[in-house]
Amino acid sequence: MRLAIWGHTAPREGLSHTQIYHQQLDDIVLAEECGFDHYWLYEHHVSPHSCMPSPNLMIAAAARATKRIRLGTMVNILPYRHPLLVAEEMAMLDVLTNGRIDVGIGRGLKPLEFRAFGVEQDRSREMFNESLDLILKVWADKDFVHSGKYFKIEKRTPLSPPLVQHPHPPLYISAQSRDSLRWAAENDIPFGQIDALIEDCQRDQEYYREVQKASGHPLRPRLFLTREVYVGESDAAAIREMKPYLMQHWDLWNRYTQFTNKGEMPDSYDVWRQRAPVLHALEFDELVERGLVIAGTPETVARRIREHQEALDLHILLCVFDFGVMPNAMMRRSMRAFSQYVMPLLAETATQGS
């Protein structure tokens, strides 16, 4: 199991946007120093809760400040961008990072973003599929002309710059629906579950394996899972310190519930329509009990992560350390404690298991 951080970028009272971006760049450097394998950034638009319309720009800025950690998007939203631009930008980031770019892709979720871009959300799956086919063709560096339902490309020159990773950078997809899971498994692409209950992950993992095997791919861990994580000096102190910030952060599921109640989520997003109200309704104690939030001493955090490993074939645990308006110093203290105390406990378990 690899360890990653999903960095959240939100406006903070008393901080300029310049300070917010520079602070996050410092956090990425710290993540590398702490031994994390990946640092991924999300993409959101026209939102008062986020100021990250282009994770690609942040990755470009972080490329020179880091040497080892893999940097990536979770996700680039393909219906919002022309596939040639996505392919070329990712090739450039592959060069800037010297082969450390991870390409997370998705079809988008928020109705207000689709409206802002003038894109019909119920066509997002078709747009995603056509876009990714074209991105892969551009990366294969073959000349071609494409005139499709949503995109047109005329490529008659070599890809510039050329890719560092071959045949292309690793792809990751956020997959919640049966259609997305089947597509990911058929293509042997790691699939992500965002704030999903363990029993839901087990069900989706089993379906993914069935399709993975039927498609002729070797059975290997492909699930990456997000979890809110906080390490404190005691279990009680950790809960007390992080709870107000976590509940502020968890209100995002209220916003998705409102989209659902207003009838704004198309039928192809039925999994989200069902999941959002369930997650929003959970009390804080239930979030901890059911493993959606992992908080406590290093021993407690390591034990809860091991429980996830026993229940799931985890490829990557995607930790969210920064939620709500948690002070940066508090988040960084938790990250350092995870690195100093939790990682050795997980490594010890892995050694015993082997």
Q: Is the pLDDT of residue 177 over 70?
A: yes
Q: Record the tokens describing residue 168, joined without a space.
A: 């292309």
Cα–Cα distance for residue pair 59/80, rounded to 1 Å: 19
Question: CA 121 → CA 81, 133, 172, 214, 265, distances in Å?
Answer: 14, 19, 21, 31, 8
Cα–Cα distance for residue pair 287/331, rounded to 1 Å: 19
DSSP annotation of 81 reads S
Cα–Cα distance for residue pair 181/231, rounded to 1 Å: 32
Question: CA 182 → CA 173, 213, 268, distances in Å?
Answer: 12, 11, 14
Q: What pLDDT shows up at residue 259?
A: 87
Q: What pLDDT shows up at residue 353?
A: 64
DSSP annotation of 103 reads E
Cα–Cα distance for residue pair 104/173, rounded to 1 Å: 6
Mean pLDDT of 19-39: 98
Identity of the residue numbered 133: D
Mean pLDDT of 276-305: 96
Cα–Cα distance for residue pair 187/269, rounded to 1 Å: 21
**Are the C-beta atoms of 295 and 242 separated by less than 8 Å?**
yes
Summary count for the chain: helices (H), strands (E): 14, 11
Q: What pLDDT shows up at residue 321?
A: 98
Cα–Cα distance for residue pair 180/125, rounded to 1 Å: 9
Mean pLDDT of 236-260: 92
Q: Record the tokens describing residue 314, joined without a space.
A: 């985890």
Q: Is the pLDDT of residue 59 over 80?
A: yes
User: Token pair 């290997």 is at which residue?
Assistant: 220
Q: What pLDDT shows up at residue 255?
A: 82
Residues 95-142 pLDDT 10s: 999 999 999 999 999 999 999 999 999 999 999 999 999 999 999 998
Q: Is the pLDDT of residue 349 over 90?
A: no
Q: What pLDDT shows up at residue 304?
A: 98
Which domains are seen in the chain, by residue range?
2-238+290-353 (3.20.20.30)
Find out whether the peptide bond into 29 is cis, omega within 30 degrees of 0.
Answer: no
User: Average pLDDT of the chain?
Assistant: 95
Identity of the residue numbered 17: H
What are residue 7's phi and psi, to 5 degrees? -80, 130
Mean pLDDT of 170-195: 94
Confidence band, pLDDT 50/70/90 cuts, at residue 254: confident
Give strand pairing partners of 282.
none
**Are the C-beta atoms of 101 and 94 separated by less than 8 Å?**
yes
Q: Is the pLDDT of residue 354 over 70?
A: no
Neighbouring CB atoms inside 10 A of 266's CB total 17
Find out whether the peptide bond into 167 is cis, omega within 30 degrees of 0.
Answer: yes
Q: Is the pLDDT of residue 62 over 70?
A: yes
**Are the C-beta atoms of 158 and 141 separated by less than 8 Å?**
yes
% of the chain residues with pLDDT over 90? 88
Confidence band, pLDDT 50/70/90 cuts, at residue 2: very high
Q: Record the tokens describing residue 104, joined without a space.
A: 């997370």
Lowest mean per-residue pLDDT among 46-50, 122-126, 223-227: 46-50
